[in-house]
Structure formats: structure tokens, C-alpha cells
Structure 1
Amino acid sequence: MTPSFNSGTDLISENVWRPGTVWHYTTASGLAGLVGGNVLWASATAFMNDLREMHTGKTVFDRLLETHAGDVDANIQEEFNSMARTALRNDRYRTFIACASRLPDSLTMWRNYTSEVGFAVALDGTKPLLMRRQRRITEKMIAATGYQDERSKQLVRELAANGSAEFEWSPAVYKPEEQYRAAWAALRGIESTARARAEGREPDKHELEAMADAAQVLPTFKNTAFQDEAETRIVCGAGMHVDLMYLKHRPGRYGMTPYVELGIPENPAQKLGDQPEPMRALPITGVVIGPTPYPEEARIGVLELLRSHGHENVKVIESRIPFRS
């Protein structure tokens, strides 16, 4: 199903777009990278504009663990604590986030994430993205891990050969009551798994699944001060011994920012050579041009950029917000 565009359609309304559409706000150079490079950047969480990025979720989980410490059966207390702490161990320098909004025309987003003229790129949020492999793992890199035994070295090789996992968009959770509800459910899942293992029963979820549930919930919690952004995000990362396959750096507002590129590889199983892996076009379904005194020039420029990269059928529309940037 594609958006139904006709003369009577309010194209700026989120209701006419495919369910699951997300809007990535960016600058002109960011738009050129999305369209021409077929990748979306995901930056290390330590370098986001939310000073408490990742800390908000950690605080919620820590409070629940402290408040209900005495409610956990003593027979499973040690295993429960171990699983919970492992699940909540997030490295803010090795965890990467790509951000978008559920709103196609947001003054907050135009102000905060664009420059002279900004763009909101509509992406099909139902399609998962993978981290782009920038380089192949070499034996020199494997030796630098410090592993001496061949079994561990072989595990690193296998992790590298498998490439990136698929990562999906998840809406940010702003309301404290919703955050506590989601965190509580994740911890109860860990408790259930720990109890089943202690009683010799097959758990409903394997311990890795139960821990993954908590690990995936934590990064979706955002401070309520950011709720006007209506954010949805991809949170991704790689094992510490293969992260060099994906890692890039760029100068940023807070220093040299680590980031990874997200997209759809042409062949995820292809053996990587000396160049970054080729990527398919991103699932771009539309572009909104932000407030600008030069809407016609901006529109033609976007249409030409899209056309030159095979996106002839992408709809380009203009913001209706009368903001003088």
C-alpha cells in the first residue's frame, strides 16, 4: 500500500502515509548522504543532545530493583541479579542511535535538527536496517583482542562473518508511568526465567531472550522534556571484538563522534573486500521541505537529487509552518 495522493489530499498529514512511516529530520548535506549514499547515521549515545541519554532508563530499572529487592525469592536472588545487571550493562560509547519522529511537520524538530533549510525524510519504518560493514576483520585485529586460545579467535571470526543483525524502529517512551510499566514487565520476565531454571523447568523464554527484552526496553526511555519530538529510534550495537568492522568517526558538537551507517546491504552474506559493502536504496517514501523563504528553489533541488538517484516517484511537499528560520 502506498500513500494516496490526489488533489484533495492533505499531504502534510501523517494520516495519509503508510502506517509505520518515520520522519528523519536533517540538513541539506544530510539529505544528500541519505539519498546518494543510501545510509542513515546512528551516533554513539554518549554524544546525543540528551545529556541523560541511556541514564533515564537505567535509573528506572535501578529504582525498581532497589525497591523490590526483598520481593525476589532468595533461591533465585543471585541468578536474578546477575541476569538483570548483565541486561542493563550498556556501553554509551558502543551503543548507537538513529533518530526520527512520528510527525512530518514539527516546529520543534525544524528548530533543533535542521539549518537554513531543513528536510524531513519519510522512511518506511516497517523495514529493518543493518549496520554497514566498513572493513573486513583482519588477523591483526583479532590478535589485538588479547585472546590467546584458537577457540576464542575463531568465535570472533564467525561473529564477523555473520555480519550485522537487523535493527527495527521503536517509539520512545516519555511518560514515567509507562516507563515503569515496561521496565517492570521486563524484570518480571527475567524473574520468571530464573525461577524456572531453579526449579528444573523449561522457561518460557531462554535467559538470553529475557535479558534481551530488558536491554531493548532500556534505551527507549527518554526524559519527558523531549516529548514534543515524538521520537522513534533504532538502537544498535556490535560485539566489542567486531565493532571495528562498522565504526566510523566524524567531528561533532561534543568532540570526535563515533557513529555507524545503517541501511540495506545488497548482499549481507557477501564476503567483504577492501571497500565498504554496497548498499541498496533506503526505503524513502517522501520528503518534506522545512520552512524557507525559497521553497521553489528548494523543491526543484530535492526533486533533481531524488531523480538522479532513481527516486522519481518520491513525493516532495512543503512545510505549512510559518516559521522564519
Structure 2
Amino acid sequence: METPEHAWHYTTAHGLLEIVRRHRIWATSAAYMNDRNEIREGRDAIRRALEKRRPQLEDWQLKQLAEIGIDSDPTPISVFLLSAALDGDSLTLWRSYGAGGEAEYAIDFDPIVSMWPVVQNEAEQHPEPPPGYYEDAREEVETGHFAQLYDPDAASVLASGWGKVEYLGDTSRVVEDELQEIIDGLKKPHEDSFYVMFSDYQQGLDPTVFFKQPGFSDENEVRSTWRVEPWWRFVLYRVGRFGIAPYVEVSAKRGTQPLHLWRGITQDEVGLLPIRSVRIGPTRGEDDAEVTLRALLDAHGYGHVEILRSSTPYR
């Protein structure tokens, strides 16, 4: 997956203030996005492509594809998504974020710099484990003797990095190309063992999180996505348009110490966000607005960040 040159995140004045002051930005569950088919669209397209290819594949390939989860239903609620755009002065997005009458801004994040979910609870064990929480992680191997299958309290993060959204038109080959890349990454196991090796999935999330319905193509979206386990360590909740929405806070790591990527970052490790510039939205380009924004950025460690103005004559 090619890293995009820009990741412009459009937000309101309130959103910008919280991002700069707290050095964090929200990634919301994909189940609560404006696109009600978020994540499902891409997975369904891959499954349709697989059905066409199925007669040409060997049994071991089909078995490994099933193990990967190609045939399973997607789970949008478990994918946390941060949206941005390649275009930093988009009339479509200014209209979307300026609808409430609040000043709007676009933040240019450096796509090369990784951001990771912030750990919200550093307790050793779940503070209020629900019924069956630990029992589900154990298996009875013989009468009265149990084996621990996994640690349900161990922190685990999968991250995609920034990637460009692919809009799935009727003639798009991106789905077939993605499926072929997955198939090419499979390795035939020995007769006495079974293992799965696959290029995209081994490093992060299901790549179909970057597929979207073509009706949203005017947004020219780029996105970064995460999965986190267990939820009680990472996930927060807020009231949104579609009910109570789960989200995670993401940030960049402070300092140069090695990062255990699979664990997220602690509160003490939160550093400055990789912000390159901030653009003031249309009709908000008065000199006073720029002076105030400069003072805000300087006060919170972002003195290097460039301030730009929109050239869109929208009001």
C-alpha cells in the first residue's frame, strides 16, 4: 500500500482546539460513520471476486483463505477509523464541516509518522470483568484440567497506516488485484502442519478497509485504521449522530525509545502530533483569526506548524 503525500483532516474550531491542546485525535468505530456500508462494501466485493476464482484454486488455498477470514462477515464496529483527504482546500468538505456555522479548519498530518491508540486503563486485569470473561480464554484439555488459550487482558493493536481509499466502480480492478496479492502470499503447508502466511494481513488490518462505495469519491479520502484488544484498555464512548459511539484516542509517541507497537502508547508516552500545517477555512481568513491560531499553536509546542488560508470563495 502506497503512503499518500497528504492527510488533511477537516474539523471545527472546537475539534482543532482539543486536538492541539491534548495532542490526541479521535478514531471512531467504522459502524458509526456516515457510510452505513463502511467496511462491508470492500469485504463483500472481495468475496464476490473469490467466488469467481474458487474453481481455479486448490483446496489448501481455499482453506487458508477461510482461515484468514475472507468468507466471514465483516465487523465494522471493531475497526476504528480516522478520515482525512488528499485535498487540503476542498469545497465539498468545507461545506460539510461549516454547516453548523462554526469556524472550520483543515489539519495536514504527516502520513509517514505513525500514530497509535492511547492506553486509557493500565490495570493488570479487567476492573469489572463480565460473566465468562476469563472462562472463554480457557479450554478443558482433560477432565478437570484446563489450558490457557490466550490472555484476555493483554494489550494488542493492529494498525494500517495511512492509505488512499479505493472507490469501487463497476469496472474497477482493484478488488481482483487485491485478491490476487493475498493468494500470492499464501504458502502451502507441510502435510503435518498448518500455518498461514499472507502479505497484507500479516502486517496489519484487512486491506478491504480501504474500499468504499463510489458515491463518496468526491471526498478523495485517505484513512488510517486500527483494531484494539481488549476494549476496556483503549475504548472510550461519546454521544454521536447514530447513538453512543465507541472511539479511541490516537497520538504519536514522545521521544525516541523503541515502541512496542502491539501495545499502543501509555499516557506518559503521548507526544506532539505530526502536524505539518493548518489551513483556516473559507470566510475565516481574517488577520485576527491567523494571529490567534499562531498563538495557540506556539503555546502547545507546534511553533513549527505553517498556517495557510483557503482560496475557496465560499461563504
TM-score range, shorter chain: 0.7 to 0.9
What is the aligned partner in structure 1 of residue 120 from structure 2? 134
Q: Is 2:96 the counterpart of 1:112? A: yes
SS in 2 for 1:24: strand
Match of 2:300 among 277, 287, 309: 309
What is the aligned partner in structure 2 of residue 3 from structure 1? none
**In structure 1, what is the Cα distance between the partners aligned to 2:203 and 2:45?**
15
Q: Is 2:12 the counterpart of 1:31? A: no
Give the residue type in structure 2 aligned to 1:100. Answer: A
Give the residue type in structure 2 aligned to 1:25. Answer: Y
SS in 2 for 1:156: coil
Give the residue type in structure 2 aligned to 1:47. Answer: Y
SS in 2 for 1:265: coil
Match of 2:151 among 135, 140, 155: 155
SS in 2 for 1:292: coil
The 3 A distance-change label for structure 1 pair 167 and 193 is closer
Q: Is 2:252 the counterpart of 1:264? A: yes
- What displacement does 1:143 show? 5.1
What is the aligned partner in structure 2 of residue 76 from structure 1? 60
Give the residue type in structure 2 aligned to 1:136. Answer: E
Deviations 1:16-49 (A, max 9, x none): xxx7232110001110121111111111001101
- What displacement does 1:123 show? 1.1
Match of 2:167 among 174, 186, 194: 174
- What displacement does 1:306 show? 0.4
- What displacement does 1:72 show? 1.9
Identity %: 25
Q: Are the aligned partners of 1:142 and 1:153 in contact in 2 as well (CA < 8 Å)?
A: no
Q: Are the aligned partners of 1:135 and 1:276 in contact in 2 as well (CA < 8 Å)?
A: no
What is the aligned partner in structure 2 of residue 207 from structure 1? 197
What is the aligned partner in structure 2 of residue 237 from structure 1? 227
Segment drifting more, 80-89 vs 164-173: 80-89
TM-score (normalizing by structure 2): 0.81
Q: Are the aligned partners of 1:76 and 1:198 in contact in 2 as well (CA < 8 Å)?
A: no
**In structure 2, what is the Cα distance between the partners aligned to 1:323 and 1:192?**
48
Q: Is 2:240 the counterpart of 1:252? A: yes
Q: Is 2:35 the counterpart of 1:50? A: yes
**In structure 1, what is the Cα distance between the partners aligned to 2:271 and 2:103?**
27
Deviations 1:38-95 (A, max 9, x none): 111111001101121112102211211222222222x326514523535855321111
- What displacement does 1:253 show? 1.1
Gaps of 5+ in 1: 1-18
Segment drifting more, 207-216 vs 275-284: 207-216
- What displacement does 1:295 show? 2.2
**In structure 2, what is the Cα distance between the partners aligned to 1:294 and 1:143?**
51
TM-score (normalizing by structure 1): 0.78
**In structure 1, what is the Cα distance between the partners aligned to 2:293 and 2:92?**
22
Q: Are the aligned partners of 2:277 and 2:305 in contact in 1 as well (CA < 8 Å)?
A: yes
- What displacement does 1:223 show? 1.2
- What displacement does 1:139 show? 2.6
- What displacement does 1:134 show? 0.7
Give the residue type in structure 2 aligned to 1:152. Answer: Q
Q: Are the aligned partners of 1:190 and 1:207 in contact in 2 as well (CA < 8 Å)?
A: no
- What displacement does 1:224 show? 1.1
**In structure 1, what is the Cα distance between the partners aligned to 2:17 and 2:63?**
49
- What displacement does 1:264 show? 1.3
Segment drifting more, 97-106 vs 259-268: 259-268
Gaps of 5+ in 2: 139-145
Match of 2:207 among 190, 213, 217: 217
SS in 2 for 1:49: coil
- Relative to its length, the structure with more helix (as a share) is 1
Deviations 1:152-195 (A, max 9, x none): 376334x32xx64554100000143685x343344334444556
Match of 2:79 among 61, 82, 95: 95
**In structure 2, what is the Cα distance between the partners aligned to 1:207 and 1:44?**
28
The 3 A distance-change label for structure 1 pair 133 and 263 is same
Deviations 1:102-129 (A, max 9, x none): 1110001111134421000111111111
**In structure 1, what is the Cα distance between the partners aligned to 2:190 and 2:174?**
25
Q: Are the aligned partners of 2:163 and 2:223 in contact in 1 as well (CA < 8 Å)?
A: yes
Deviations 1:208-236 (A, max 9, x none): 54644795320101111111111110011
**In structure 2, what is the Cα distance between the partners aligned to 1:86 and 1:62?**
7
Q: Are the aligned partners of 2:27 and 2:247 in contact in 1 as well (CA < 8 Å)?
A: yes
The 3 A distance-change label for structure 1 pair 311 and 87 is farther
The 3 A distance-change label for structure 1 pair 197 and 182 is farther
**In structure 2, what is the Cα distance between the partners aligned to 1:89 and 1:252?**
25
**In structure 2, what is the Cα distance between the partners aligned to 1:201 and 1:140?**
35
- Relative to its length, the structure with more strand (as a share) is 2
